[in-house]
Structure 1
Amino acid sequence: MADSLRILMICHHRLFKSWLRPGILARGLVENGHQVTLMVVAQNTRFRFKRSHIDGVDVIEAPDLTSGRMRSGWDPISVWRRIRCVRRLDSDYDLIHLFETRPATIYPGLVARRRMKVPMLIDWIDWWGRGGLIEINRPAWYRFLFERMETYYEEHFRTLANATTVICHGLKERAVGLGVPRETILHLRNGADHERFRPRPMKELRARFGLAPDAFIAGFASLDTFLDLEMMLRGMKQLVADGASARLLLIGKSDARVRARVAATGLSAHTDFSGFVADDIYPLYLNACNVLLMPFPKTNYNIGRWPNKFGEYLASGRPVIFNAVGDLQDFDMADENAVGIACEYSAEAFASALQRMYESPELAERLGENARDAALRKLDWAHQIERLEMLYAELTEKRSAALGATAAG
């Protein structure tokens, strides 16, 4: 283990969403003997700070005057409050790690670095600005008001970091293009929770959820957005039209637009909708499927992200039909190690892959075992945290050496 460090993490997400990446890293660092303070956006509070300990992490929930999706780092009053908060924190932190660079993160982070005189890292997990998710995952009024500002905050401050962590190769190359030295960038993909997501018997779970006991079920899961469904839906429609006893299971809260797209494809009679599922139930739905689907066409927003559910699919021990785009190219492996079927983003390709899985349960079983093995080898949170510790140690050693040289001079 590296020497114990005191780390300040600042994030623009609400508490529940912060645990998808910074919270997990913080918890793992605490388990390894470090002290971590994590500042997040409070779930609902608008006026008061709340401080608590979660899994050993010192959590500061900062108030925010906005609501809903706007509660994500844009409130100028929250920025001012956060700056005041970091000015009151103890100054004996060793590192500052910012998760993205929206106003509620970058400005308090810069104030903290100036006050504490310690290295600052910046994390990058999504391509949001021009050409990215904002163009397909936000309404027109939001794009009109925020696209230029989103792009500015996403790009402008990257070169100020002493080191950069990125979730995928695409964002690493984008950071280099913005002037960030390549040697200061750590590709730090999210891991998967191997205990929460693991192989389980299928039959009992289908009975529990009222799913067809003998049908071939292809599953697709989403926390809050159902992207890139078209070719997957059309491929599934072709499988059903060819006479397969097959059903599509959409896991997660799907709105009327998603259901309308399913209906327009002619799949309503062959689709089950789970609706919202609690965190402890979600993995069980994955285990109820024969195969899991990961449509991932070549777009900026896919090249610039890591889909967490892909890791969850693999850890669940189910084969995956996916498009080998962005970081998913690393999982397009040779036949003996294949985790599923990598195909083109087309209806015909999805239909062909589904047909192969439908006709060969033995193939699906073998690919599912490979998927679980790949998750254990390639998507281990403990290993990722060790790599982050090594970067932290390198930065603090450089700082100590620089302070020593200054003192000697």
Structure 2
Amino acid sequence: MKILTFSTLFPNTEKPGHGIFVETRLRHLVASGQVESRVVAPIGWFPSKHPRFGDYARLARVPKSEVRHGLQVEHPRYPVLPKIGMNVAPLLLAQAAKPAIARILDEGYDFDLIDAHYFYPDGVAAAMLARYFNKPLVITARGSDITLLPQYALPRRMITWAANRADGVITVCHALRDEVVALGVPQERVTSLRNGVDLQLFRPIERTANPLFTLLTVGHLVPVKAQELIIAALPLLPDVRLVVAGDGPNRGMLEALARELGVEARVQFLGAVPQAQLRGHYGNADALVLASSREGWANVLLESMACGTPVVASRVYGTPEVVAAPEAGVLMDERTPQGVADAVDRLRAAYPDRAATRRYAERFSWDDTTAGQIALFQDILNRRLRQPSRALAC
């Protein structure tokens, strides 16, 4: 089976952690030996590589083509238009990707199916491309593409069109499946396939006891992750320290908050940490804390558990499906500093055996997800074979 994976959420040489969850799932799928894939991961166009332009310049330095873990990845450029960009992004994305996909076909890689990730603009663009190239389409919903973007009228209409145009929709948790069905997509066409965890990369380490109970939070420092709730809980947790792994626009605000609350000596900012180095931080922590306002399926929760470290997490969307047993950790009753502190106290009062936490994570290997993808793709292709003259959807 040959697939074309399509998403702007895919790692590259300049941002190796960007969309790594898409690459990880794909690597396990290809490792099955039953699927081949080429990847088209468009990059926003920027005219200069000069360092003074920061992240924009980094995008400009991404090569047009690269090989990652044996996967051939193309990075066509698409224009990003300020202010009006949100509404026209799917069309611009599709137009930019067409020549790259046509070249892939000309090279002899006649793929069977488009495997798209994130509904807007990626999934909508993929629906346009599937129609143009007359290929079946599967779109994976991953979180805010379904929980946030449909709040806007035009994106909602386009997401709904793409979901109904797709031959299959995958969601990374049951809660997202319910949201997709609520958009009007027949429930029999929506499959929930949760993410797994790399049990070889993330595993327990030799550790020594921490002088202070150590919390770790991992993620981009952006509003949706709400790390400020964890910092604001520290005055209520006088014998607790916090390690922050990640970077982003909220860093200055978070550092200022720690100083304002007088807890800066108990907060350590690591900056961005490569995934391969996270194992040590997970293993050395006593608990991972995730206070997000939205999450589809938070991979960091399982990564932490696989290292033997239980979690404290907000009760949003797919998270209760991940944190579903005492050995996994606890869920907050409320997303407030007090709610964080109370949940940490509850975890400490009944702290699970770390070996049991690891065993819990072992239930979430990638094997079931890979098998589910293969079965879905094969079913779609079989249905296509039974309908060779199927008209293109409008």
Same fold (TM > 0.5): yes
Give the conservation status (yes or no) of the 8 Å contact 1:217–1:290.
Answer: yes
Q: What amino acid does structure 2 have at the position aligned with 1:99?
A: H
Distance, in Å, in 2 between the alignment partners of 1:38 and 1:108 is: 13
CA-based RMSD: 3.5
Q: What amino acid does structure 2 have at the position aligned with 1:132?
A: L
1:100-129 C-alpha deviation (Å, 9 max, x unpaired): 3445653454334443x3321111112247
Q: What amino acid does structure 2 have at the position aligned with 1:85?
A: A
Query: Residue 277 of structure 2 is aligned with which of 245, 262, 281?
Result: 281
1:158-194 C-alpha deviation (Å, 9 max, x unpaired): 1111110112223211211222111111112221121
Query: Residue 383 of structure 1 is aligned with which of 347, 368, 373?
Result: 368
Which residue of the partner structure matches residue 228 of structure 1? 226
Distance, in Å, in 2 between the alignment partners of 1:75 and 1:402 is: 28
Distance, in Å, in 1 between the alignment partners of 2:245 and 2:75 is: 30
Measured at CA, do residues 163 and 271 of structure 1 come closer, stay the same or move farther in structure 2, by a change above 3 Å?
A: same
Q: TM-score, normalised by structure 1?
A: 0.77
Larger gyration radius, structure 1 or structure 2: 1
SS at match of 1:179: coil
Q: What amino acid does structure 2 have at the position aligned with 1:51?
A: S
2:181 maps to 1:187: no
Which residue of the partner structure matches residue 167 of structure 2? 162
2:351 maps to 1:364: yes
2:167 maps to 1:176: no
2:284 maps to 1:314: no
Structure 1 runs (4+) greater than 6 angstroms displaced: 70-73
SS at match of 1:89: helix
SS at match of 2:6: strand
Q: Kindly, what percent of the aligned residue pairs are identical?
A: 19
Query: Residue 95 of structure 1 is aligned with which of 93, 113, 122?
Result: 113
Distance, in Å, in 1 between the alignment partners of 2:121 and 2:80 is: 14
Measured at CA, do residues 350 and 384 of structure 1 come closer, stay the same or move farther in structure 2, by a change above 3 Å?
A: same
Q: What amino acid does structure 1 have at the position aligned with 2:316?
A: V
Which residue of the partner structure matches residue 213 of structure 2? 216
1:69-102 C-alpha deviation (Å, 9 max, x unpaired): x999938655423123323432732211121344
Distance, in Å, in 2 between the alignment partners of 1:46 and 1:218 is: 37
Is the deviation greater in 263-272 or in 173-182? 263-272
Q: Where in structure 2 are the equivalents of 1:7-406 lying within 5 Å?
A: 7-15=3-11, 16=16, 19-33=19-33, 34-42=35-43, 50-66=64-80, 74=89, 79-90=94-105, 92-103=110-121, 106-107=124-125, 109-115=127-133, 117-128=134-145, 132=148, 150-203=155-208, 213-225=210-222, 227-240=225-238, 244=239, 246-253=240-247, 255-296=251-292, 301-302=294-295, 305-335=296-326, 338-345=327-334, 346-358=336-348, 363-366=350-353, 368-377=354-363, 379-403=364-388
Distance, in Å, in 1 between the alignment partners of 2:306 and 2:332 is: 21
Measured at CA, do residues 219 and 401 of structure 1 come closer, stay the same or move farther in structure 2, by a change above 3 Å?
A: same
Measured at CA, do residues 61 and 231 of structure 1 come closer, stay the same or move farther in structure 2, by a change above 3 Å?
A: closer
SS at match of 2:204: coil
Give the conservation status (yes or no) of the 8 Å contact 2:313–2:332.
Answer: yes
Measured at CA, do residues 66 and 339 of structure 1 come closer, stay the same or move farther in structure 2, by a change above 3 Å?
A: same
Give the conservation status (yes or no) of the 8 Å contact 1:290–1:318.
Answer: yes
Distance, in Å, in 2 between the alignment partners of 1:45 and 1:78 is: 16
SS at match of 2:75: strand
Which residue of the partner structure matches residue 143 of structure 1? none
Structure 1 unmatched ranges of 5 or more: 136-146, 207-212
Q: What amino acid does structure 2 have at the position aligned with 1:63?
A: R
Give the conservation status (yes or no) of the 8 Å contact 1:313–1:320.
Answer: yes
Distance, in Å, in 2 between the alignment partners of 1:133 and 1:108 is: 17
Give the conservation status (yes or no) of the 8 Å contact 1:8–1:93.
Answer: yes
1:231-260 C-alpha deviation (Å, 9 max, x unpaired): 4334332120xxx3x212112226101112
Q: TM-score, normalised by structure 2?
A: 0.80
Distance, in Å, in 2 between the alignment partners of 1:276 and 1:41 is: 23
